[in-house]
Amino acid sequence: AIAAVEEWVRQNPEPNACDREALIALVTQCLDVGVPPSSIPLRQALVHHHALLEGEEKLAKLREYIRLERQKQGLDLDEPETEDAADAGDEEEPEEQDFSEEQREAERVAVAAALLGKNLLLLGGVPKQKVCDVLQDQLGCSARWLRTSKTDKAAKFEADIRKADYVVVVKNLVSHDICDKAREWTKETGRHCVVLRSGYGAVQIVHHLYEYLLGRDP
């Protein structure tokens, strides 16, 4: 997906003469398939075309990372940092993790073999249905994402956690109680709990599931 954006930029070097909607469609597709807004190749590809993304609320986070990239390259040095940009900078290190297409496919195949026909439950923050759709399509499992906050108690989700074959917990977006109890309850039921420490797009989720399965592989 990133390669398509890079190719489009190469073919359209002058931002003022570009088809804005075409670029937005390509960038949105990248995010929908799990490319994180902090992706270095993505933001570097868009560093001179950032203005075309203005006004698109769903691309706000990506625009902040592009702005940081422009500053890193010596551009926009006089532009004041916004609160959102500061937050993006704080998240930059854990979010940055790019994989080759070959690695992504190898990990997807391995995870799909384990999750085929299984129930996958995701906990943390605001549910992302598009990510669930991608996971279901790529892994052959059912995927459900429940809205949670850092103040929620685990008991609220106990029944869902106990029924799921695999539980993925977005660590930074849930309470310690949920994280601890999810591990405890899945251990009791003989199921699986994966703690997602960074990134929560489809690519990152598959990668964490892959790493988890590797750890369990004798």
pLDDT the model gives residue 86:
37
pLDDT the model gives residue 93:
35
Distance between CA atoms of 181 and 188, rounded to whole angstroms? 10
Model confidence band, residue 76 (pLDDT cutoffs 50, 70, 90)? low
Mean pLDDT across 204-210: 92
With 90 as the cut, is the pLDDT of residue 56 above it? no
Model confidence band, residue 205 (pLDDT cutoffs 50, 70, 90)? very high
For the chain, give the mean pLDDT: 84
Closest CA to 163 of 116, 117, 119: 119
Model confidence band, residue 40 (pLDDT cutoffs 50, 70, 90)? confident
Task: Give the burial string for 116-127 (b: 16+ CB within 10 Å, else e).
Answer: eebbbbbbbbee
Pick among 3.40.50.720, 3.50.40.10, 3.40.640.10, 3.90.198.10: CATH of 101-216: 3.40.640.10
pLDDT the model gives residue 216:
58
Residue type, 27: V
Residue 196, beta-bridge partner list: 170
Q: Please count the other Cβ atoms lying within 10 Å of the Cβ belonging to residue 104.
A: 19
With 70 as the cut, is the pLDDT of residue 92 above it? no
Dig out the tokens for 159 from the structure. Answer: 């029944």
In this structure, what are the phi and psi dihedrals at residue 153, rounded to the nearest 5 degrees?
-90, 150
Domain boundaries, the chain: 2-94, 101-216
Burial class (CB in 10 A: 0-12, 13-18, 19+), 20: middle
Q: What is the pLDDT of residues 124-167, one digit of tens each?
A: 878 888 899 999 999 999 999 999 888 899 999 999 999 999 99
* Helix (H/G/I), strand (E/B), else coil: 8: helix
Q: Are 148 and 124 in contact (CB under 8 A)?
A: yes
Model confidence band, residue 98 (pLDDT cutoffs 50, 70, 90)? low
- Confirm whether pTM is higher than 0.85: no
Q: What is the DSSP string of 94-131?
A: HH-----HHHHHHHHHHHHHHHTT-EEEEESBS--HHH
Give CB contacts under 8 A, 24+ apart, made by 47-52: 47/73, 47/75, 48/9, 48/15, 49/9, 49/12, 49/15, 49/18, 49/23, 51/15, 52/15, 52/18, 52/20, 52/23, 52/24
